[in-house]
Structure 1
């Protein structure tokens, strides 16, 4: 599994700005050419330049997997139409749930999802249907309720908050059907999604991510 360091707009918090699955990577408009080349080379996807509610914080507002890109209710209709027109190989849905920072509150791969514990049962049902996952659970990771911020998971593996317990790691591995490791990004940040973007093809991390942190990621996402 190839892991490469990069920055976005001069910051290492690349996960705040980028969403990716195996087919598409959504990035802010005006992202520099070098960053887009790194994304194409490592994630091997089509790149779509985009905003949500006129914001560049794509990674905070979007969630999803290879079945569906899930947009918050605050997304503008023209943004919704644009993605549906361009991302033809995956479903795009706008969901009417209370939370709008969906990337912070949904952790998903193609098999399962772990979501914010304060979602209602009706909201969880909506998310299960749009994500087309076998199982969805409400929960926390290391007592962190913004579970989308506390982990990154693909079909190849997952990395979660360094303080996740052994039992949590085991349960997450069973839920997502893949191996899970604990770790940090960007020299000790336990909210790993903020500095990390991954799909089944590769992993991108902020430039201040250390060698030992990358070793943990290689254990998590390696073949």
Structure 2
């Protein structure tokens, strides 16, 4: 169990281009072998290469938990088939807010979603993930999936979160939450972190202090 700095496509925005769910890491086609090795060694995860919406922005469009992956209906059939290589069931959702990775924050216990999802869309997400779902914000902003990263052990949220927002996340996801940043001050913490219950990869500018907070928030032991 550990935390390592990394980069993907030359960028510290690991969570923009990739997503880890359980012991599977979803990455764009052609990622370097060094990055795959870090995913395997630090996260204990295998990699599945794919595109989503014919883009490399896997972390933007993909959300989910160990029970189900969710993607918007704009993705292609062959991309859904590629997701199926993970052996985690995939649900395609017809929703207006298609960047599900940015608008859904989920673990195996619950999910917080963008407040602009319709009631029917919240019901779809709830049925797909099999967990309680609540609308919420972080710092008054609805892209909760970008402003926080959560596992089944803990959650790191943006410093902009109010106590009320932090308490809701903690209650719904059933984990303790801490405020912090990544990549030397970036509040959109999920954009710079790939994490599961075993460890985390963080963007290369992430400071030692930020790493300490991330480790404490996600309960990652050295």
Short-chain TM bin:
over 0.9
Corresponding residue of 1:80: 80
What is the match of residue 217 of structure 2? Answer: 220
Q: Report how far residue 162 of structure 1 moved.
A: 0.9
Task: Report the count of equivalent residues.
Answer: 220
Q: Secondary structure of 1:148's partner?
A: helix
How far residue 172 of structure 1 moved from its aligned partner, in angstroms, is: 1.6
Partner of 2:104: 106
Report Cα offsets for 1:92-114 as digits up to 9, x if no partner.
11111111111000000011000
Alignment of 1:125 with 2:153, yes or no, is no
Alignment of 1:38-117 (within 5 A): 38-84=38-84, 86-88=85-87, 90-117=88-115
User: Which runs of at least 4 in structure 1 moved beyond 3 Å after TM superposition?
Assistant: none
Q: Name structure 1 gaps, 5 residues minimum.
A: none
- Take 2:3 and 2:163, find their aligned partners in 1: how far apart are those partners? 25
What SS is found at the alignment partner of 1:94? strand
Aligned-pair CA distance for 1:211: 0.8
State the shift of 1:168 in Å: 2.4
Q: Is the 8 A contact 2:184 2:206 kept in 1?
A: yes
Q: Secondary structure at the match of 1:149?
A: helix
Matched, 1:165 2:162: yes
Matched, 1:193 2:180: no
In the TM superposition, residue 166 of structure 1 has moved relative to its aligned partner by 2.6
Deviation at 1:206, TM superposition (A): 0.1
Q: CA RMSD in A?
A: 1.1
- Could you tell me which residue of structure 1 aligns to residue 4 of structure 2? 4
Distance 1:50 1:78 in 2: 9
Q: TM-score, normalised by structure 2?
A: 0.96
Deviation at 1:197, TM superposition (A): 1.0
CA distance in 2, matches of 1:120, 1:167: 22
**Residue 83 (structure 1) shift:** 2.0
Alpha carbons 2:63, 2:70 under 8 Å: kept: yes
Q: Which residue of 2 aligns with 1:136?
A: 133
Q: Which runs of 5+ in 2 are unaligned?
A: none
